Structure 1
Amino acid sequence: MTELSATATIEVPVDPATAFRIFTEEVDLWWVRGPINFFDAARATAMQLEPGVGGRFLEVYSLPDDVLVLGTITDWEPGVRFAYRSSVDDTETEITFAAEGDGTRVTVVQALVTGGSKAFYFWKNVIHWVPQWIARRSAAPSTPRELGRLAVALYYADPAAAARWLHTVFGLDSWTSIPAEGTTPSWIELNVGDCSLILFPRTDTRPPQHDHSTWIYVDDLDAHFAHTQQSGAKILSDIHQHGYRRYETEDLEGHHWTFAQARPTQ
């Protein structure tokens, strides 16, 4: 049975008018360009929100007129709220901006319309990109942040638990957010530099295959090895060198990982 609604909330350290402007005018800058963050990632070149009632929420492709209309704006009150009716599922979404201390609480409510049956509740994953953009926007280039051409997909029985473990033990981070205990996001992306590590649920009962390994270059291999070892991860080989320094370890569900020393210029 499809859930009737989904709510997500963030707090950002700017006033409501600024938060509204960043959310709407800079959507193409804070929207993470991961391989599974668009309806058609192979063609997407931009995200766009046209201001005012009747404006469109767009996934833009190569040509100016080649777009996917994600929704149409139904309410527009700068600094307070806006809402849109989805064109890709049977939901309505309202985003509100309320003063909270010295900042703003941004709340997204995505709800199934009466008689509707299809809902893509993606905002609970997407909204966390906004405060990460605000934290770096003063020093960031005014161009969208692109992911590298390498992406690795790993399959886990519990991707959220795996993401927390990989974050705590291996120090991997995310442009989005590390899922909290008790949450089960529909997709999880971790990031190593500009590359994406995508965690998916494993749908069969076979153990992870050991015919592959994820390689990550780190700045301080000795410190990374010490932290991994102290965190209780299974070490498959200590630090050794054969052209490059590396060690091998295993995560909580048996995937093999190789960590290697990065070059000074890498």
Structure 2
Amino acid sequence: MTALSATATVEVPVDPATAFQIFTEEIDLWWIRGPINFFDAARATAMQIEPGVGGRLLEVYSLPDDVLVLATITDWEPGVRFAYRSSVDDTETEITFAAHDDGTRVTVVQALVPGGEKAFYFWANVIHWVPRWIARRDAAPSTPRELDRLAVGLYYEDPAAAARWLHTVFGLDSWGRIPAEGTTPSWIELNVGNCSLLLFRRTDERPPQHDHTTWIYVDDLDAHFAHTQESGAKILSEIHQHGYRRYETEDLEGHHWTFAQARPTQ
């Protein structure tokens, strides 16, 4: 059964008006361009929020006027709150900005509309990108942080516990947050420089060579797939899309590889 709502909160060291401005006007700077953070990661070039009631939340692609409308804004009070109705699921979301101590508490409440069935409750993962951006905002370049073309996916029985261990023991960090004890986020992404380390839940008994997957982003996924197939490699899954276009294959000793379509900005 789909949960009726989900709430996520962070505190940031700026006043509510500034927090609101950063959240809305600088979303393309704080939004992490990870492998699974877009509906169409192969074409996405930007995230954008159009101000005011009737404005849109957009996933922007490379061609003029080529966008995915994620939502339409239904309420807009700068420095206080804004709300939107999603176009990609059956939820309504309200983001509030309240003065708290010497900063602002930002709270996101995403709720299933009456009679709704589909909900993508992603804000618990995403909201933590905002304070991370604010912490480096004054010294960071005013261009989005792009990921490199190599990512590694690791499989664990308990990905959240693994993330905490990798953070504590190896010093690996995240542009979002390290999952707390007792939490089970829908995805976990650690970062090494501009590379992603994706942690997935182990769903079967994998032999040693299958306990990880290396991801590589290529300019022309279709041509790459055709070449791999013609060369006789074992194809585990043909090109498919779930936020990102990719296919899976196996090398001569059974290691798994994922090849994904690079975005125009990569």
Normalising by structure 2, we get a TM-score of 0.78
Q: Deviations over 1:37-57 (max 9, x none)?
A: 001111000000000000000
Partner residue in 1 for 2:106: 106
Aligned pairs for 1:79-228 within 5 A: 79-204=79-204, 206-207=205-206, 209-210=208-209
Q: CA RMSD in A?
A: 1.5
Gaps (5+ residues) in structure 2? Answer: 215-266
State the secondary structure of the residue aligned to 2:24.
Answer: helix
State the secondary structure of the residue aligned to 2:133.
Answer: helix
Distance 1:209 1:173 in 2: 25
Q: Identify which of structures 1 and 2 has the higher relative contact order when contacts are C-alpha pairs closer than 8 Å and 6+ apart.
A: 2
Q: Identity of aligned pairs, percent?
A: 86
Partner residue in 1 for 2:222: none
Distance 1:202 1:212 in 2: 8
Distance 2:212 2:7 in 1: 37
Give the length in aligned residue pairs.
214
Distance 2:140 2:210 in 1: 39
Structure (1 or 2) with the larger CA radius of gyration: 1
Normalising by structure 1, we get a TM-score of 0.78
Partner residue in 2 for 1:78: 78
Partner residue in 1 for 2:35: 35
Partner residue in 2 for 1:54: 54
Change (3 A) 1:171 1:119: same
Deviation at 1:64, TM superposition (A): 2.2
Partner residue in 2 for 1:245: none
Moved segments of 4+, more than 6 Å: 211-215
Q: Deviations over 1:201-243 (max 9, x none)?
A: 1111x1552467799xxxxxxxxxxxxxxxxxxxxxxxxxxxx
Partner residue in 1 for 2:12: 12
State the secondary structure of the residue aligned to 1:132.
Answer: helix
Distance 1:139 1:211 in 2: 41
The letter for the 2-side match of 1:209 is P
